[in-house]
Amino acid sequence: PDLDATWVALGEADPDVMDRDQLVALQRQVASVKAWCDAVQVRTTRRLRALAAEGRAEAPKDVLATEGRQSSKDARAADERERVASALPGFEEALSTGDVSSGHLDAVAAATRNLGDAARAEFAAHATDLLADAKDQTVDRFERACRDLARNITAVQPGATPADEQAASEARSNVKHWLDRETGMWHTHLQL
């Protein structure tokens, strides 16, 4: 985006006298600048992580919390955004151009947070489709799609051995027994 023109337009904007269409255009400009700032923060976080690995800086989330004046929760989210952007580079470029928002990267981070390495790699293999969906969907809808994809990947992930697969299957099984006090009858619910 033409950030110079956007900055000028934002500086001159007076939302109090704008009609609906003008406010929509203004909101798009605000979203574009926010996305660009978030993309710069992704790059900053990546560099802080490299410096921290060399012992020349604190952990990125600590710097983001103190110097970025963010809550620790927001700093952790920014830290996770960088991990997503590094794993799915198309998302970083789309963020810098305002085609996606930081919420889209947060959705990927939330969906992949508890995945193992193999499942995370399989999730990343869908990067092209995910990016196309993110550009076309609201954050809420994209978040649901990411959760569904992660759930589907997890469901078909093979265990390391047949015994591991059997143990995982048993862990997902659910058996409940209860006595109905009114009828005196036992009830059993099986989920296998």
* pLDDT digits 0-9 by tens, 47-66: 999 999 999 999 999 999 99
pLDDT category of residue 160 using cuts at 50, 70 and 90? very low
**Cβ neighbours, 10 Å, residue 149:** 19
- Report which DSSP code applies to 126: T
Q: Answer with the residue of higher pLDDT: 110 or 160.
A: 110
Residue 191, helix vs strand vs coil:
strand
- Give the pLDDT of residue 189: 78
pLDDT category, 163, cuts 50, 70, 90?
Answer: low
pTM above 0.85, yes or no: no
What confidence category does residue 6 fall into, taking pLDDT thresholds of 50, 70 and 90?
confident
81: left (phi over 0), alpha (psi -120 to 50) or beta: alpha
- Any idea which residue has 């012992």 for tokens? 55
More confident residue, 19 or 68: 19
Q: With bands split at pLDDT 50, 70 and 90, how would you rate the model's confidence at 166? A: low
pLDDT of residue 167: 61
Mean pLDDT computed over 106-111: 97
Q: What is the mean pLDDT of the chain?
A: 90
